[in-house]
Amino acid sequence: MDNNTIKIKRVLLVPLDPVHDVALKILNRKLRDRGHETILLPPDIPLEEIISRLTEIDNLDFILVSRTLGYGVAELLGKFIDLAEAAKIRDKAKIVLGGKAITPQLAAELGFDKGFGAGTDFDEIIAFIEGREFLRERDSLFRKKISIPASHNYHYKNNRIRRLLNEITDEIIQWGENKSSPGIERAKLRENMITISQDDKLTDEEKNQKIKVLKEKYIAYCDEKIVRFYERGLLPDKVRKLSSEEIGKLNLYIQQQKQNINFKQMRHMQLLPLVFVQYGTGCPIMDIAHIKTSEAWGADGVFHFDPSWGARTEGLLEGILSHEEDGSIITWENLAKIKSSLHKETLWTVRAHRGLNTPETTVIAGRLGADLTKIHIVYGSLNGGTDPARLTIDGLKAIQFAAKYNMPFDEPTNEELGGVPAYKSFAGLLIIADLALKLKAQPILKPLFCYSPDVMISGKMDDNYIDYNVAKIKSLRSIIDAPIWPGEPIGFMTHSEDRVQSTLSTALHSALAISLQVDAITIASSDEAYSRGPISLASRIDTLRGAQEVFRFLGKAKIKPTGKAKEYEKEITEGIEKTLEKVAKRGSFVDALYEGLLGSPQDGAYPGRAGRDTVFEG
């Protein structure tokens, strides 16, 4: 409700304490800001004098009485009500009670019209005075799914770079015509199997028959590890099916968690950045525990992190499966169960980006209603272990699926962590973003906030972690108006095993993110640098709390970089342009990947081998 439509109320505020009147002063200011007429009495006035003053004031709508101290509270407030009744003040105005010593029950027992206890939101009291329903900001404004690309138009601001990208991505699309791979064929078969399983016109028997035929074709495109599962029911090492008893309990657990949840509010004055955490404990039960806890502590989104072997294996398993090591296995059933646990306003992203199951994962995510996915051909080819030609064709198809299912996707530039300079990884990032725009998809740029090997060697972060990260964001913004979501997680390679240091580093990088008004961030747990065991749930809360605290600290204030940021920005933009010139001149994006133009072995990037020689005409 805006201030113009509010019916003005006359409100008297009465502090019934010797000194404690700060809350009433805040409320007084907030009521006046909304146009109400208020009178704030000073503290420590005898009850009789207060009543005497009340009888002299006309046309009061509300009398707000506060009491912080607990001793003798019932007697004092009871006497106040008795005096008010005797003076016929109750007939003139509603008398409302609030304060740390108050509970709504006590207020009702004493005869007040309404009571507000400790921890009440000021806006709840104002809503009561204005006679409207109170909607918590965390429920209305802050706990809403936001479309990350919605506020960006994808217009280029650097025409030279736009032209180079156009040339490169035309070539990629042309190269990809009439090509396919086992991953693409499986994705199409999976899509058909899902369609059949959801077709209400078919009987179960008809569905099973049709799916059986498709499954046989599917298995023909799978690795031995997956074939063993489908043909003999053998699961890979360290993987087990959850029992039906466990699944039953899991359903109940999800139901309980959904009933119990109460959200903390992460952000203070601003809607951005959205805060994501990644889960992938290996076990869907533990994943759901992490997700529900992250939601409760204010995370806006969660993303599914799968085991590294999953990216190097042709084909996906089926069933609700638990895995003893990091990364939760991608199956339709695992993802469906996890999806069922999410709050309706929680953003969910399933990473598909780097391996042999990229198109199929995108299909499953899309059909399950994931909000986002993750696809990056360059990173997956140079540091993710997948053959460049294979991932180029699979990536092309995955981007088309992402567009079909209306899932924006982010592109993580994690090749920087191998040593590739930011400008080269950004050239790759922009190529895939431009490709996505041609395929009518919505790319999200994901530069890293990190202490990368390249900046360690070049000394660009010797003074601070701010300038170079600012330069990265500003360089990208000088090229295109696209959503930016630093990851993955922010502060990569700045964390140590020290919980305090690790949390603080995440928090400070969150401060930089809010200062730059990026669209989203992914934050680590405080166990980020601890590699000898699983991430603990408590460590997730550490960093969510840390980020929340810096959002409160900064509000709308900004972090100011030094003059070096401008120099670095120019350097990065020039580097991007030169890299794109080389790729365009090469005339083949795939060859440019093999030949190291977007990251070479000297940089720390190596063309992957998984799926080599599997691209075929078709």
Partner 1 sequence: MNGENIFNRIIDSLDIETFIVCQSEEEGRRIGLAIMEQLGFKDADIVFIEFLGSGARIRIRANIYKPGDSYGWFNLCNQKRDKIKNG
What is the nearest approach in angstroms of partner 1 to the Cβ of residue 232? 22
Q: Compute, in degrees rounded to 10, the torsion defined by CA atoms 317, 318, 320, 324.
A: -10
- The span from the CA of 66 to the CA of 20, in Å, is 9
Residue nearer to partner 1 on the CB measure, 202 or 247: 247
Cβ-Cβ contacts under 8 Å for 366 (sequence gap 6 or more): 373, 401, 402, 404, 405, 406, 407
The CB-of-84 to partner 1 minimum distance in angstroms stands at 39
**Measured from the CB of residue 498, what is the shortest distance to partner 1 in angstroms?**
5
Per the DSSP assignment, residues forming a β-bridge with 480 are 156
CB closer to partner 1, 44 vs 498: 498
Regarding 247 and contact with partner 1 (CB under 8 A), the answer is no
Q: Which one of 498, 553, 558, 562 is in contact with partner 1 (CB under 8 A)?
A: 498
Among 172, 285, 352, 610, binds partner 1 (CB under 8 A): 285
Residue position matching structure tokens 């809503």: 127
Percent of the chain as helix, strand, coil, to the nearest 5: 50, 15, 40
Cross-strand bridge partners of residue 275: 521
In the window 561-590, what residues touch partner 1 (CB under 8 A)? none
Residue 282 binding partner 1, by CB under 8 A:
yes
Binds partner 1 (CB under 8 A): choice among 169, 278, 281, 313? 281
Answer yes or no whether residue 240 interacts with partner 1 by CB under 8 A.
yes
Q: What is the dihedral of CA 449, 451, 453, 458, to 10 degrees?
A: 100
Closer CB to partner 1, residue 32 or residue 238? Answer: 238
Query: Which residue, 157 or 249, is less far from partner 1 as judged by CB?
Result: 249
Confirm if 450 and 513 have CB atoms less than 8 A apart: no
CA distance 574 to 129: 59
Query: Minimum distance between the CB of residue 245 and partner 1, rounded to whole angstroms?
Result: 10
Q: How many CA atoms lie within 13 A of 161 on its CB side?
A: 27
How big is the chain by its Cα radius of gyration, in Å?
29
Q: Which stretch, 60-68, 131-139, 281-289, 475-483, contacts partner 1 (CB under 8 A)?
A: 281-289
* 111 vs 534, beta carbon nearer partner 1: 534
Contact 535, 508 (CB under 8 A): no
Our CB check for partner 1 shows the closer of 240 and 612 to be 240
Residue list 309-348, contact with partner 1 (CB under 8 A): 322-324
Q: Is 530 in the site for partner 1 (CB under 8 A)?
A: yes
Tell me if 534 contacts partner 1 by CB under 8 A: yes
From the CB of 266, what's the least distance to partner 1, in Å?
A: 21
State whether the Cα torsion 115-121-124-130 is positive or negative. positive
**Which phi and psi angles does 167 have, rounded to 5°?**
-65, -45
DSSP letter at 313 equals: S
527 sits near partner 1 (criterion: CB under 8 A): yes
Nearest distance, CB of residue 247 and partner 1, angstroms:
12
240 DSSP β-pair partners: 322
Q: Which is nearer to partner 1, 148 or 242 (CB)?
A: 242
For partner 1 (CB under 8 A), the number of binding residues is 29
Which 8-state DSSP code applies to residue 582?
H
As measured in angstroms, the least distance from the Cβ of 248 to partner 1 is: 9
Minimum distance, C-beta of residue 106 to partner 1, in the bound complex (Å): 23
- CB closer to partner 1 out of 36 and 292: 292
> Which of 537, 582, 595, 596 touches partner 1 (CB under 8 A)?
537
C-alpha–C-alpha distance, residues 431 and 308, integer Å: 25
Amino acid identity, residue 206?
E
Q: Of the two residues 55 and 243, which places its CB atom closer to partner 1 in the complex?
A: 243
To which residue do tokens 């051909």 refer?
Answer: 377
Q: In this structure, which amino acid lies at residue 289? A: A
Can you tell me the distance from the alpha carbon of 15 to that of 13, in angstroms, rounded to the nearest whole number?
7
The b/e string for 68-97 (b: 16+ C-beta within 10 A; e otherwise) is beeeebeebbeebbebbeeeebbebbbbbb
Under rule CB under 8 A, residue 499 binds partner 1: yes
Q: Toward partner 1, which CB reaches closer, 501 or 517?
A: 501
Contact predicate 510/521, CB 8 Å? yes
Position 253 contacts partner 1 (CB under 8 A)? yes
Q: How far is the CB of 34 from partner 1 (least distance, A)?
A: 40
Three-state SS at 158: coil
Using the minimum distance from each CB to partner 1, give the nearer residue, 108 or 252: 252
Of 105 and 256, CB closest to partner 1? 256
Helix pair 388-404, 358-367: axis angle to 10 deg: 10
Q: Can you give the binding site for partner 1, defined by CB under 8 A?
A: 238, 240, 246, 249-250, 252-253, 256, 281-283, 285-286, 289, 322-324, 496-499, 527, 530, 532-534, 536-538
